[in-house]
Structure 1
């Protein structure tokens, strides 16, 4: 016969699936929007216009120097303290824990990824940039066709680490009532009084997702690097 714990875990399996799916949503959407933000910030960071460069530096410094949990709390609990925010068109989003978590994750991963992208852009061989300019490329075309693809390839190993860190950081969404994987595990552990077994199961799910991310990054790196094919 199945033990009460096994029976409870089997009954909670749909909750684990739902929590895992919410975790995937949070991480995927945050990484997508964060990458777009990071690319813009990296370009600003390397700009010769001092105001743009200093705005980018300030943003990166603030969000890399403060804990993600503090950022989540400031956005979820802090912004609602201002009447101007509660009366603005953004309030329907800012009062929802899901979107507050997304905003915090995007701003956090955007700061780290911006530095990763900056390193990738600066690592692009200067000779290739000069050759592209000699062929008539300039401005946005040079950036899209020459600099950005190579910068992303060079930054991919470091960005793979950021993806895994974002997956781990998504567990903090449970602190603002979101029932993602860690939130579900906490609820089940409180109900079954078996935290070790429940959190080991949750940890195994995180390990599985981390393995898939690592393999995906390795395959992408291999595909984007001709000498490794």
Structure 2
């Protein structure tokens, strides 16, 4: 095995790693915010809102992420250029890129899975703590922000860490819509040099290191905010 090619391709490898991390951060941050709304919609929303939130979760959890990505990129992406106001807008340079569709599809998919995690965590919060907050005169929003949601997140921390790792392992799918992530760079190296295993080994090591960092960060976080039962 030879890894001398890294000297020539390291700028591309760094750029690809940056795209991978950026895609992960965007999908996790925005997906988590959306998941909070979906979780509360299922737990305390009206019957119609509950059915809509469950339908959303069922659709995105029940269909492959690759199909969702292709539906957005090849479906919606092919329609956007036909809308003059979008094509002429200052956002068009972003909307025409595969990275945009990858970020949207990954965010929507992650939100569906995380919403189910948070829904279970919200239901696991002891009712006595919520009743105590109401007894102190807390308004619904204050009760959610200061007691219910933080308590649920503490309960769900181990699962949230696992979901982020799963999301990381899904990022190579972005390669299929022209995103130059780390896996795409490895494919380019393979095409240019005819090396098969070495580029994949580099990608594997990167994902292992990033997974270890995520796992370590969540272990430290769990130690700082232990769950009280």
TM-score category of the 2 structures, normalised to the smaller one: over 0.9
- Alpha-carbon deviations, 1:177-213, whole Å to 9, x = none? 1111111111111111111111011100100000000
**4+ runs of 1 displaced by more than 6 Å?**
none
Cα deviations by residue, 1:112-165 (Å, 9 ceiling, x for unpaired): 000011111111111111111111113100000000001001011111111001
- The alignment status of 1:135 with 2:132, answered yes or no, reads no
> Shift of residue 226 of structure 1?
7.0
CA distance in 1, matches of 2:64, 2:227: 39
Residue segments in structure 2 that go unaligned for 5+ positions in a row: none
Higher mean displacement: 40-49 or 61-70: 40-49
Q: Structure 1 pair 143/83, CA: closer, same or farther in 2 (3 Å)?
A: closer
User: In the TM superposition, what whole-angstrom CA distance separates every residue of 1:32-84 from its partner, at most 9, and x where no partner exists?
Assistant: 00000000111111124111111101100000001111111000111134479
Counterpart for residue 63 of structure 1: 60
What does 1:1-229 correspond to in 2, within 5 Å? 5-82=2-79, 86-87=83-84, 89=86, 92=92, 93-225=94-226
Equivalents in 1 of 2:107, 2:3: separation in Å? 37
Aligned length: 224
Return the TM-score normalized by structure 2. Answer: 0.92
What TM-score do the two structures reach when normalised by structure 1? Answer: 0.92
